[in-house]
A and B are shown apart, each in its own frame.
Chain A
């Protein structure tokens, strides 16, 4: 039997064992839920992240994510699912940031800063007012993909469906909006409404991602997969598909690493994504330099 000898000689055993362990883990419901949550998160952040990155509204997204903490606090205070509270708060703060930046003279980053801080402060107050201990507060802040309940998976599924529906229906409008908003205005496209709807989609994405990486790290999953995808294509649809794929690889790989190394899943997912992104940027830079020296020679 060559099996065992082969394994020891090439040192493949730990890897196989790891995969087996992971497959064994799939028997547990929490692990199946975790995989599903990862996939649903990848779909939302992959699609919406492309708009966030090409339209350069990463920090608006960060503001919406942090403001949603107010909703999590309200959820604890009222004794309802904090995710539902976050849904309302992130939608409201998205619309508020959009409304303020479009209709008043306040600069966008000022509006973001104000809502970011007020949302978080409200969250702290609500949690303080809630009698007793706030269970799994940390998992909303930093995410824990292993504790996503099935009811939240259903909510994530519904939000993903809404996002996909909007993007399929308004793909050409959002291409114009991201590329050249002034032109969109000139040809009579309702740019302000579309922009508010985009911020609404970001708010939904934040809610989908909170359970996986936590509201503080949401911004990473909104940007890493899209930024990586951008290196490989100049077609927006392809970029979205690649971005979903990368997002899923990050959550899946991060989940596996965190399971193996006994590290928090949210942070592991982010660091894996960050590492891959850094390597990809490095390779691109080297390739460009090689091309230049070849051309010079």
Chain B
């Protein structure tokens, strides 16, 4: 293919006790891919992200991130979690939160240095929130907070961005704005986004995989109703938005 392979998963098998979470998952992701992974809750989406972050060791199979085992590559990955539940008056400023993204670079026991501060600054500018540095994080709107959490991930100057249900708790208009931001970021990054929001995912991502223990992925953006049914194990109706820039549905 000539492109740089960022992630290679081969025959990954993960189970919790007797319960299988991932079965025979094989996946290759290349530089500047924007992959959306959709699937039902409990389908193994979070487990897959944990495998990529090196937090869950597969029972069998091989994981390579940038050609290395995932434990060694955490510093090169930015992670955006679901919006955490914290108190509105939690004593942290926007700047405090973005600096957290530099943890892997600074390391245990070390204090942040000038380089860390510069990276946090740059990340805030990338998400266009540089004017909010000293604001208390709880005082921002849900959409603004999600931008800050993206900035936190970007502060690590990652080559790969992992997003776990990033729009789960923000309202629809904010969601569109958020996807526009990802659209800009994907020029310099490889992005994997896990979501159960089929509609939005299919508009913005370049490739889609469906995950329900097994991964259905054909390196493209087309999902057939057969794949969706296999994933969700029940008939799913695909709803396309009014002006879909790419074809999502296969013609029947």
Contact = CB atoms under 8 A, between A and B. Distances in A.
B104 A179 contact: no
Interface string A67-110: 00000000000000000000000000000000000000000000
A57 to B, nearest CB: 13
A170 B110 CA distance: 8
A8 B100 CA distance: 60
Given A176-B103, A189-B103, A230 B91 contact: yes
Contacts of B91: 50, 54, 230, 233-236, 238-239
Nearest to A169: B109
A29 interface: no
B93 interface: yes
Contacts of B108: 170, 173, 189-190
B41 to A, nearest CB: 16
B92 A172 contact: no
A175 interface: yes
Given A182-B81, A183-B81, A183-B84, A175 B100 contact: yes
A179 B90 CA distance: 8
B99 interface: yes
Given A179-B92, A230-B91, A188 B54 contact: yes
22 contacts: A169-B109, A171-B111, A173-B103, A173-B108, A176-B100, A178-B90, A179-B90, A183-B84, A184-B103, A186-B49, A186-B55, A186-B79, A188-B54, A188-B104, A230-B89, A234-B89, A234-B90, A234-B92, A235-B91, A235-B93, A235-B96, A236-B91
A180 B79 contact: no
Instruction: Tell which of B49, B108, B136 has the most Cβ of chain A within 10 Å.
Output: B108
A185 interface: yes
Contacts of B156: 187
A175 B54 contact: no
Interface of B: 49-50, 53-55, 71, 74, 79, 81-82, 84, 86-87, 89-93, 96-97, 99-101, 103-104, 106, 108-109, 111-112, 136, 138, 152, 156
Interface residues on A, range: 20 to 34
Contacts of A236: 91-92, 96
Contact of A234 (B54, B86, B93, B109): B93
Contacts of B79: 183, 186-187
B55 to A, nearest CB: 7
Interface in A163-206: 169-173, 175-176, 178-180, 182-190
Contacts of A235: 91, 93, 96
Given A234-B136, A235-B93, A172 B106 contact: yes
Interface in A216-231: 230
Given A54-B87, A186-B81, A175 B92 contact: yes
Contacts of B50: 186
A77 to B, nearest CB: 40
A179 B97 contact: yes
Contacts of B103: 172-173, 176, 184, 187, 189
A266 B169 CA distance: 45
B53 A182 contact: no
A242 to B, nearest CB: 10
A236 B86 CA distance: 14
Contacts of A189: 103, 108
Contacts of B86: 179-180
B43 to A, nearest CB: 19
Contacts of A176: 100, 103
A209 to B, nearest CB: 22
Contacts of A182: 81-82, 84
A191 to B, nearest CB: 11
B53 A170 contact: no
A233 B87 CA distance: 14
B53 A188 contact: yes
A180 B81 contact: yes
A54 B85 CA distance: 12
A187 B104 contact: yes
Given A176-B100, A183-B79, A188-B53, A54 B112 contact: no
Nearest to A176: B100
Nearest to A190: B108
Given A187-B74, A188-B54, A179 B109 contact: no
Contacts of A183: 79, 81, 84, 100, 152
